[in-house]
Structure 1
Amino acid sequence: MTQAAPAPALDLSTCDQEPIRTPGSIQPHGFMLTLAPDLAVLQASANLAAWSGMAAEGAIGRPLADVIGAAAAQRLAPELAADRGPHPYYLGTVATANGRHFDVLAHRWDGVTIAEFEAVDRAEPADFRNLYPLIGDFLLKVNEAGSIESLAQLACQHVRSVTGFGRVLVYRFDADGHGHVMAEARDEGYHSYLGQHFPASDIPVQARELYKLSRIRLIQDATYTPAALVPALNPVTGKPNDLSFAALRSVSPVHLQYMRNMNTLASMSVSLVVKGRLWGLISCHNEDAAPVAFEKRTACEQLGQILALCIESREDAAELQFRLEVRRTMVSMLAGLTQGSDFIENLANVFPDLLRFARAAGAAIVVDDRVLTYGDTPEQDDIVALVDWLTLHDHGDVFHTDKLSALYPAGERLVRNASGLLAMPISRIHKHYLLWFRPEWVHTIEWAGNPHAKEPAPGAPTQLSPRTSFAAWRETIHGTSLPWHGGEIELALEFRTALLGIALERAEQMAELAEELGRANKELEAFSYSVSHDLRAPLRHIVGFADLLLESAGGEDAQQRQRFLRNIKEAARLAGKLVDDLLSFSQMGRASLRPTTVDMNDLVAACLDKLALETRGRNIDWDIGPLPTIWADPAFLHLAVFNLLSNAVKFTGQRDPAAIRVHAEDHPHETVFHVADNGAGFNMEYVHKLFGVFQRLHRMEDFAGTGIGLANVRRIVERHNGRVWAQSVQGEGATFSFALPKQNQH
């Protein structure tokens, strides 16, 4: 094993700002040329002379053929002319003029063609036959792997068999950026990191972004001396070259020291990118320097892409199953919330489902000063104080944390049963909250080295460097709960929307009920007044004429007594008619509709037959147009139409001839019927009173009636979800209209 020499002190304070994409140098196991479109050399790596015999400075501006030989240049020229994008592609294996062999990679980036020459011991092109058995065998075994961990283990074994590295592991990044080693394949002499965690600081943010762009990176020997580009600046851009996609790109000195501290001289990383995010890495370590040929790297990169697709598929399936379970619980809850009239009591009745919905140990409903709890929850006073804090610090539609004590000052005493909190306001105006609590989850994390250990300060006897200890270090985590799943948060938002919908529906129902009650009260007041007024008049007549009849009992005027009796009879008949009409109006609101197909031509004809006695001796010109067939309750609709026709007959009593017209109009969503006459009409200023109970626009002495007919018409039409209105010019007649919606028809 090569023992790394002590490295010079490194300043880690600016590690996150290090220009890792523009290092200005390459790893020396090959050389690099940047080329103009005519294949003239723009830049060369400083180690060019060691590989080709020509100094880098002497190559600048010369044709490619002068640097690598005419045969090699002629072989590469057609491939170099093609622009295949930023990712390096394999051009083949060439022999330079001095007889050395190189695998050639090229890509267009940063305004130039970057050509990389990796030294190889063979004259033949790269043999990609390694790719097919590796990928084929992996695909055959994918379906046998029951979990992502077993897939990762399978990938470790296959990559190690291709590269020959001493240790290959797969680790996944968590939400905080820490890496967790979930699978490992290693030689017996290598230390195991399986199950351990690596702190997020081991891979700075900018390095993670580069891992997403360039999916594979090889470091053959961590003790290498970088070879600088000559000249240092890209002639096209005037800036240091962006080598993000270059296979030979030099890496950070900090990372090289990290490798040496880990007793690793060769490493290779394959990115696992799932849905555009860096999910994890396949990380390969070797204690000695080790080259990995391009075709083997390609095989490993392909396997990494397949593993990432398998991970995405498995995670999507698990996510879908999880969301289906949560949604099933939510649907069950929502069904329970519509059962009773008390919304809060309904919520309390589904408490068990509420716990299952959020995988919580306790839940609480807070409605102003009222607190309902279920399961393992904090004390009511603590819940009220927590809600006060939530109200003061507006957290939006849903607030969630798996470490409440880190955010809420009084959270320390709630750690046992409320380390985790999911809370959502049910009202924006009132202090109404739904809360879920998760208890403390005490667990141990095993780190590869103490992530909290402080490095010695500059100037101290021990040199400042990347982590030097990778010994297992255990940390017990207190004060946190199991994390909230993204699906739980999203479905909680959906649940909140559904709750607000139910609450809004209840509010609308209450508003409608209040409006209906208001109308009923007003109607009842008018009804009571009219009943007392209209019923009192015939009763007074009965009493008055009865008294007169008694007073004249001894007289001989038989004709006068007959007149008194006729008046008593007429008053009694009117009183009875009032009672009958009131009963009919009352029934209109209670009886169930029994709709069926109704031919309006037949219905109007039946009404006219019924009116025959009233119209006997009258000169009435009836104009009945063609009428449609509709869907309605025939008995109720017959009463409505009869009332309208009877009304027309009554108010045309002083016309000779009387003209009464019945016709219909067909509209897209409704059918409209009109009953027009040339009678007395009415003042449109009082049209709003027309369809009220006992509302008359004419004196009873002029036009007899109880004032209930049109109220019945309105009630019948509205029971059919229709509408009714009237138009008139006083003294010239009136038109009464009603419309019935077509959606009630078959």
Structure 2
Amino acid sequence: MEIKQAPISFTIEKNYDSEFCGSIPLHLVNLIQPHGVLLTLDKADLRMVQVSENVEQLLGIPAEEILDQPISSYLPQPQFEELKAKIQGQNTQVKIPFSVTFLVNGQEATFTALVHPKEDYVLIELEDNQDTSQKDSFLGLYQQIKYFTSLVKQASSTKEIAQITVQEIKKLTGFDRVLAYQFDPQWNGIVIGQAKEEDMDDYMDLRFPASDVPKQSRDLYFSNPYRLIPTRSYTPVKLRPLINPLTQRFTDLSDCNLRSVATVHLEYLANLQIMASMSLPLIIEDKLWGLISCHHKTPMNPSYELRSALELLSGIVSGQLAAKEREQTIHLRAQLRGIHAQLLEQLYTTPNFTEGLLTGPTNLLHLLNLSGAAVLFEGGVLTSGETPTGQDIKELVYWLRRNKTEKIFTTDTLPQLYMRARDYKEVASGLIALPINAEQGEYILGFRPEVLQTVSWGGNPNQAIQMETDGKTYHPRNSFDIYQETVKQTSLPWLEEELEAAEALKSAVLEKIIKERY
């Protein structure tokens, strides 16, 4: 049985996840983007104890005048009561924007607000969202979302879901380029869906190193439903006072959409030749599966209605991707169960269990998608398919015993772990070892051959970060030209469903051995 693998599954030998980039505290910058205002309130009395310095531009009140004032002085009583209710009852994982009207010198100013209750304080983000030219009617958005949902439900694969998603989001938003980006196990990403203007660079099927979205940035996607940069040419706005008077520390901006962006990321956007960007996480089973990344050649600030619609769509896409992966898992498990049942029948109808595993119309090679297998039992070695020599197998078992592999062991990069395997990488770059009696050197071994895979990167991943001589300042790569490398000494990866089948087989073999002996 041949199980096809997506290119995303291949193990890349080098780790491109930058510990340096991933350790930068992006949430403690004390800076915001200027398209909104941030207010920090004392949770006890809702006084404004810290504000962004652009508060006068949006509210018409100087920062020194508004500091230490209760927010109730500027809101109609019903809205103040609504705000209190949201602070007291809001689940911090759910961010629902609402409208507030500030009363300043007899003038009314309406804003879209987001509330983030913390342990010691409350953060309120305000954005002037009165640009009616961008506003979408509820009915219009609802119809587009329904149409989008019906399309992705009909998709036959994850890649088709991704392509439908980027095409529809491009239509909905007007962004110049929309990419769907899936992470591999090492956090490198591959573009699996793309919709773009003709004059923009083509990134379809290209990989980008993990350092492009370092750990700190990935973690923040669990706090933010989206990341918006309306223009990379903005001047960051400071908070006043600099230190939060309630905590005597920098204010934690993890949850804030307005949080300012690291300078290196703005430089990265400039190298991509885009001015505005918006990204949305694709989260499956509490793990960041990928991103939807939107690019625009000129400044762009989507309305709150549109952003909310995109947040909803990313959730729908995540759900459909999860459903598709579950469907594929169920199908594969059913296949493997059928093969396992036939193999069990052979185990119990042949005199020797080794022959039952390796001979007959259904055998171990079919169950675990192997090119070769070996059973070492009671001093004998029985092989099937393409395997290393008998001596190589015995030395490999010695290495396994020395490393105390008493549980099932798998690797798709054996030559990188075990030097001697480089001599027979063509037949055994991948290994699965099922110990029967590890102390006696009794194992069931499965082999997979080397699969040479050409990986196309968006720029040279070895130059993803360019440090200056001070060892602190760094820059992103300035070229995204296709850079190709060949992945060697690597087999197809082992699927979780195959490991489950291997565990079940091991149990069945041990049970048969015990019955024969006792």
Scaled by the length of structure 2, the TM-score of the pair is: 0.89
Structure 2 unaligned residues grouped into runs of 5+: 1-17
Q: 1:31 aligned to 2:40?
A: no
Structure 1 segment 572-651 matched on structure 2, within 5 A: none
Query: 3-state SS of the aligned residue for 1:171?
Result: strand
Measured after TM superposition, the shift of residue 425 of structure 1 is: 1.1
Structure 1 segment 208-287 matched on structure 2, within 5 A: 208-287=218-297
| C-alpha contact (below 8 Å) 2:177/2:295 kept by paired residues | yes
| CA displacement, residues 445-488 of structure 1 (integer Å, 9 cap, x when unaligned) | 1110010237555249xx94112111111111111111111111
| CA displacement, residues 369-412 of structure 1 (integer Å, 9 cap, x when unaligned) | 42111111111111111111111111231111111100001011
| Higher normalized contact order (CA 8 Å, seq sep 6+, divided by chain length) | 2
Measured after TM superposition, the shift of residue 107 of structure 1 is: 2.6
Measured after TM superposition, the shift of residue 96 of structure 1 is: 5.4
CA distance in 2, matches of 1:315, 1:19: 34
CA distance in 2, matches of 1:39, 1:128: 33
Measured after TM superposition, the shift of residue 318 of structure 1 is: 0.4
| C-alpha contact (below 8 Å) 1:126/1:294 kept by paired residues | no
CA distance in 1, matches of 2:226, 2:238: 22
**Structure 2 residue corresponding to 1:77, chosen from 80, 84, 108:** 80
**Structure 1 residue corresponding to 2:47, chosen from 34, 40, 44:** 40
Measured after TM superposition, the shift of residue 254 of structure 1 is: 2.1
CA RMSD of aligned residues (A): 2.2
Q: How many residues in Structure 1 have an aligned counterpart in Structure 2? A: 491
**Structure 1 residue corresponding to 2:66, chosen from 47, 59, 83:** 59
Alignment-mate amino acid for residue 107 of structure 1? H
Q: 1:21 aligned to 2:27?
A: yes
| C-alpha contact (below 8 Å) 1:31/1:44 kept by paired residues | yes
**Structure 2 residue corresponding to 1:88, chosen from 68, 92, 95:** 95
Scaled by the length of structure 1, the TM-score of the pair is: 0.63
CA spacing shift, 1:409–1:209, aligned 2, 3 Å: same
Query: 3-state SS of the aligned residue for 1:134?
Result: helix
Query: 3-state SS of the aligned residue for 1:113?
Result: strand
Alignment-mate amino acid for residue 415 of structure 1? K
The aligned residue for residue 399 of structure 1 is: 409
The aligned residue for residue 427 of structure 1 is: 437
Query: 3-state SS of the aligned residue for 1:269?
Result: strand
**Structure 1 residue corresponding to 2:502, chosen from 474, 492, 499:** 492
Query: 3-state SS of the aligned residue for 2:216?
Result: helix
The aligned residue for residue 118 of structure 1 is: 127
Q: 1:136 aligned to 2:142?
A: no
CA spacing shift, 1:227–1:357, aligned 2, 3 Å: same
Give the structure with higher Rg (CA).
1
Alignment-mate amino acid for residue 310 of structure 1? Q
Q: 1:310 aligned to 2:317?
A: no
The aligned residue for residue 478 of structure 2 is: 468
CA distance in 1, matches of 2:444, 2:361: 11
CA distance in 2, matches of 1:505, 1:415: 37
| C-alpha contact (below 8 Å) 2:136/2:306 kept by paired residues | no
Q: 1:409 aligned to 2:412?
A: no
The aligned residue for residue 7 of structure 2 is: none
| CA displacement, residues 489-510 of structure 1 (integer Å, 9 cap, x when unaligned) | 12211211121111112121xx
Q: 1:49 aligned to 2:56?
A: yes
Query: 3-state SS of the aligned residue for 1:206?
Result: helix
Measured after TM superposition, the shift of residue 183 of structure 1 is: 0.5
Measured after TM superposition, the shift of residue 75 of structure 1 is: 5.5
Q: 1:335 aligned to 2:345?
A: yes
CA spacing shift, 1:275–1:240, aligned 2, 3 Å: same
The aligned residue for residue 117 of structure 2 is: 108
CA spacing shift, 1:414–1:368, aligned 2, 3 Å: farther
CA distance in 2, matches of 1:18, 1:162: 34
CA distance in 2, matches of 1:368, 1:201: 50
Q: Give the stretch that moved more between structures: 30-39 or 307-316.
A: 30-39
| C-alpha contact (below 8 Å) 2:375/2:382 kept by paired residues | yes
| CA displacement, residues 114-163 of structure 1 (integer Å, 9 cap, x when unaligned) | 21111233489985444312210112223331111111111112222222
CA spacing shift, 1:472–1:50, aligned 2, 3 Å: same
| C-alpha contact (below 8 Å) 1:89/1:107 kept by paired residues | no
Measured after TM superposition, the shift of residue 100 of structure 1 is: 4.9
The aligned residue for residue 709 of structure 1 is: none
CA spacing shift, 1:396–1:237, aligned 2, 3 Å: farther
Alignment-mate amino acid for residue 21 of structure 1? H
Structure 1 segment 334-413 matched on structure 2, within 5 A: 334-350=344-360, 352-367=362-377, 369-413=379-423
Query: 3-state SS of the aligned residue for 1:440?
Result: coil
| CA displacement, residues 575-623 of structure 1 (integer Å, 9 cap, x when unaligned) | xxxxxxxxxxxxxxxxxxxxxxxxxxxxxxxxxxxxxxxxxxxxxxxxx
**Structure 1 residue corresponding to 2:446, chosen from 436, 439, 444:** 436
CA distance in 2, matches of 1:95, 1:44: 15
Structure 1 segment 494-533 matched on structure 2, within 5 A: 494-508=504-518
| C-alpha contact (below 8 Å) 1:46/1:230 kept by paired residues | yes
Query: 3-state SS of the aligned residue for 1:280?
Result: strand
Query: 3-state SS of the aligned residue for 1:372?
Result: strand
| CA displacement, residues 408-439 of structure 1 (integer Å, 9 cap, x when unaligned) | 01011111111111111111442111111111
| C-alpha contact (below 8 Å) 2:464/2:477 kept by paired residues | no
CA spacing shift, 1:328–1:352, aligned 2, 3 Å: closer
| C-alpha contact (below 8 Å) 2:464/2:476 kept by paired residues | no
| CA displacement, residues 621-675 of structure 1 (integer Å, 9 cap, x when unaligned) | xxxxxxxxxxxxxxxxxxxxxxxxxxxxxxxxxxxxxxxxxxxxxxxxxxxxxxx
CA distance in 2, matches of 1:110, 1:23: 19
| C-alpha contact (below 8 Å) 1:442/1:476 kept by paired residues | yes
CA distance in 2, matches of 1:122, 1:458: 43
CA distance in 2, matches of 1:238, 1:396: 52
Structure 1 unaligned residues grouped into runs of 5+: 1-11, 509-746
CA distance in 1, matches of 2:241, 2:231: 25
The aligned residue for residue 211 of structure 2 is: 201
Query: 3-state SS of the aligned residue for 1:236?
Result: coil
CA distance in 1, matches of 2:462, 2:173: 34
| CA displacement, residues 652-699 of structure 1 (integer Å, 9 cap, x when unaligned) | xxxxxxxxxxxxxxxxxxxxxxxxxxxxxxxxxxxxxxxxxxxxxxxx
Measured after TM superposition, the shift of residue 440 of structure 1 is: 0.8
Query: 3-state SS of the aligned residue for 2:475?
Result: coil
CA spacing shift, 1:126–1:137, aligned 2, 3 Å: closer
CA spacing shift, 1:93–1:77, aligned 2, 3 Å: closer
Query: 3-state SS of the aligned residue for 2:463?
Result: coil
CA spacing shift, 1:276–1:50, aligned 2, 3 Å: same
Measured after TM superposition, the shift of residue 111 of structure 1 is: 2.6
